[in-house]
Amino acid sequence: MKQKPITLLGNRVYLEIPEEKKTQLHLDKATKAALDEEKVRNWGRLKVFAVGSSIEGLKEGDEVMIDPSAVEKVRQIPISPTHYVLLVSYFDIAHIW
């Protein structure tokens, strides 16, 4: 689901949030937050949605791995009422697949 135009500034990168399997389980907010945090720690290959204006060598559609120690800084950003992306710093990208 590509929403355009987006002009991302600086050394920021938006990453697609991987699709998750739907479940019939209903979780309380604390449990869901804990599971979401664990899920982020296990993401090893994320697709680039948008690249900041100061970045070279990385483009939309590339797949990257973020530094696991940077997970606490990852934020989900709404770019439309139904679509969220992850906001990371370019410096937290460990490598491009």
Whole-number pLDDT of residue 57: 93
> 0.85 exceeded by the pTM?
no
Whole-number pLDDT of residue 41: 65
What does residue 10 show for φ and ψ, rounded to 5 degrees? 70, -145
Q: Per-residue pLDDT tens for 53-73?
A: 999 999 999 999 998 888 778
Q: Which residues of the chain have pLDDT under 70?
A: 1-5, 20-22, 40-42
Whole-number pLDDT of residue 93: 93
Which residue matches tokens 């797949």? 63
